[in-house]
Amino acid sequence: MSAQSIRAGKVDVKQREQPDGKAAAASCVSIAQLMQPEHANPLGNVHGGTIMKLADEAGGLAAMRHAGRPTVTVFIDSMTFDKPVQVGALLHLYALVSWVGRTSVEVLVTVEAENPLTGERVETNSAFFMYVALDDNGRPTLVPYLICETEQERKRMAAGEKRQHYRLSQR
């Protein structure tokens, strides 16, 4: 089976070999956005849905960077909003690939709110997002394996494996 056939999508995903690996650091994404009045709920805090949308965008970008292909969201682990985000805060979202399967990419997204006047930052929430890479026909396709360069990345990958086993057991 040639690499050209694999890249051309002429081989069934079950027969393909996984592409060469990519380091976790190569796919990190950072997004910052000022929270405006249109992002507010009736209490004056930023809507949780607004934060979730931005987190999904950051996670999706990290997954696409890793996969080198378009990705779609298939799962979001529980997202707890530990602290409210106020209008006027600068929201920082950090996304990094934490686990990789054959066609799946798990991304940890961490959210911080910064007071732009003082520079003080607080972590407001985090969650794991699961994406599947798609080929040119919109079907799941193999993704590069994850190269873990640090002990923290290896622990994150092992924990991701446990989360994936749990998710699969819940089907």
pLDDT at 168 over 60: yes
- 60 vs 3: which has the higher pLDDT: 60
pLDDT band at residue 158, thresholds of 50, 70 and 90? very high
Q: In 2-37, which positions are buried (b, 16+ CB within 10 angstroms) versus exposed (e)?
A: eeeebeeeeeeeeebeebeebbbeebbbebeeebee
Handedness of CA 95, 112, 46, 127 (dihedral sign): positive
pLDDT band at residue 78, thresholds of 50, 70 and 90? confident
φ/ψ bin of 49: left (φ > 0), alpha (ψ from -120 to 50), beta (otherwise): alpha
List the domains of the chain with CATH numbers: 19-169 (3.10.129.10)
